[in-house]
Amino acid sequence: MNITDIPLEITTTKSSKINQVDFENLSFGMHNSDHMMYCDYADGKWQTPKIVPYGPMEFEPSAKVFHYGQAVFEGMKAFKDDEGRVWLFRPDQNFERINTSSKRLAIPEFPKDIFFTSLKKLLEIDQNWIKKGEGNSLYIRPFVIATENGVSASESSQYRFMIITCPSQAYYNKPIKVIFAQEFSRAADGGVGYAKAAGNYAAQFYPTQLAKAKGLDQIIWTDASSHEYLEEAGTMNIFFRIGDKLLTAPTNDRILDGVTRKSIIQLAKDHNIDITVDKVSVKEIVNAAKNGELKEIFGTGTAATVVRIEGFEHDGVYHELPNLESSYGSFFKTTLQDIQYNRAEDKHGWTMQAF
């Protein structure tokens, strides 16, 4: 189907909230743009998508999402270039991943044409919420929830697919401190770790609270069976640099196949940076920290982009990392943002113009 053939019902707001927002001082996810998209699944098919003013929605307390967490989500960003054109970064990857996540959670897959038609329209309607300038973007949160009423523990027959957006700047405005997980686990073999299932994030909140009580910001999860291998952080994938060699864990059914992660692996190859995608052992990293060969650790994600990790705790010992003047992390952040803001050649065809 040609994307212009998609029926889309649009109701615009009569009172924009844009003047209530201080775009110079945004706290991540705390403001929503004026509109949102939703599309219901009923009678075995996705219904007509709607764009409506952002606002509360009514669900019955027995809706399955509240009891069984049958919900998945995505994170994407739209960037405005100096000429006012709006770009999405690898949106096909997010679209495919939400359906991969949905499949694992027994949620029906969402049609590609409805996704892109309604997303582009939503961005066009809320285009004033996308600010130009380094670090500014509109964070896009597609998600799906199970809306059938009834607390029997079985998959829903009704769903709501939604897209909300939030103007955003940096997710972390300073480097972070982490702890390597030794007690709790994020994901297990055969589980849902690779999916962006809502519950994956909820399950991290309590261990993260304990880490925060120790003055640390986030956990780097290790494999659930031995806690010997480093996998991913709470909101990001993770890279380590020993000497000039970059390391990151391979994806598997416990690790999120991050779009920023895979883009950085490609950029490393493009720039002849020695990168190994293989199991990263705690022992190797702790030893490298002790003998001074561990140069940097950084996290990568859509919300976070690239964030420096200034130190980590393991076995009760805190290891501080050097703050390099020319780090791989800052090189990748700049290189990636140059592509995202349409300032550099996009030789892999990663960006898509929204309008």
- Closest CB to ligand COI among residues 77, 295: 77
What is the CB-side half-sphere exposure of residue 252 using CA atoms within 13 A?
A: 19
Which tokens go with 290?
Answer: 């002790």
Q: What is the DSSP letter of 156?
A: -
Query: Please, what sign has the CA dihedral across residues 305, 209, 102, 150?
Result: negative
| Piece of the chain touching ligand COI by CB under 6 A; list 120-128, 144-152, 297-305, 321-329 | 297-305
Question: Residues with Cβ < 8 Å from 346, sequence gap 6 or more?
Answer: 339
> Looking at the chain, how many residues does it have?
355
Please count the residues of this chain forming the interface with ligand COI, following the rule CB under 6 A: 7
Q: Position of tokens 């705790």?
A: 313
- Closest CB to ligand COI among residues 139, 240: 139
| Piece of the chain touching ligand COI by CB under 6 A; list 152-160, 221-229, 261-269, 296-304 | 296-304
Q: β-pairing, 237-242 with 245-248? A: antiparallel
Q: Position of tokens 């606002």?
A: 55
Which residue in 69, 108, 301, 329 binds ligand COI (CB under 6 A)? 301
Which tokens go with 54?
Answer: 């952002």
Angle at 330 (CA atoms; ends 195, 275), nearest 5 degrees: 60
Binding map of ligand COI across residues 19-58, x = CB under 6 A, - = no contact: ----------------------------------------
Q: What is the CA radius of gyration of the chain?
A: 21
91 makes contact with ligand COI (CB under 6 A): no
| Residue 349 Cβ vs ligand COI, minimum distance, rounded to whole Å | 21
| Residues in 217-246 at the binding interface with ligand COI, rule: CB under 6 A | 235
- Closest CB to ligand COI among residues 111, 301: 301
Which residue in 136, 251, 302, 340 binds ligand COI (CB under 6 A)? 302
| Piece of the chain touching ligand COI by CB under 6 A; list 64-72, 127-135, 275-283, 298-306 | 298-306
- Closest CB to ligand COI among residues 117, 237: 237
| Residue 122 Cβ vs ligand COI, minimum distance, rounded to whole Å | 17
What stretches of the chain show up as alpha helix (H) in DSSP? Answer: 64-68, 91-104, 112-125, 198-213, 259-270, 282-290, 328-340
CB 232 within 8 A of CB 261: no
The partner residues of 353 in beta bridges, in order of sequence, read 87
Which residue in 303, 306, 309, 336 binds ligand COI (CB under 6 A)? 303
Pick from 339, 35, 338, 53: nearest CA to 165: 35
Query: Please, what sign has the CA dihedral across residues 338, 201, 218, 184?
Result: negative
| Piece of the chain touching ligand COI by CB under 6 A; list 43-51, 202-210, 225-233, 299-307 | 299-307
Which residue in 75, 108, 207, 329 binds ligand COI (CB under 6 A)? 75
337 makes contact with ligand COI (CB under 6 A): no
Which tokens go with 29?
Answer: 């996810």
| Residue 245 Cβ vs ligand COI, minimum distance, rounded to whole Å | 26
| Residue 62 Cβ vs ligand COI, minimum distance, rounded to whole Å | 27
Residue of minimal CB distance from ligand COI?
75
| Residues in 199-218 at the binding interface with ligand COI, rule: CB under 6 A | 201
| Residues in 110-149 at the binding interface with ligand COI, rule: CB under 6 A | none
Task: Provide the phi-psi class of 18: left if phi over 0, else alpha when psi is between -120 and 50, else beta.
Answer: alpha
| Residue 337 Cβ vs ligand COI, minimum distance, rounded to whole Å | 15
Binding stretches for ligand COI (CB under 6 A): 75, 201, 235, 301-304
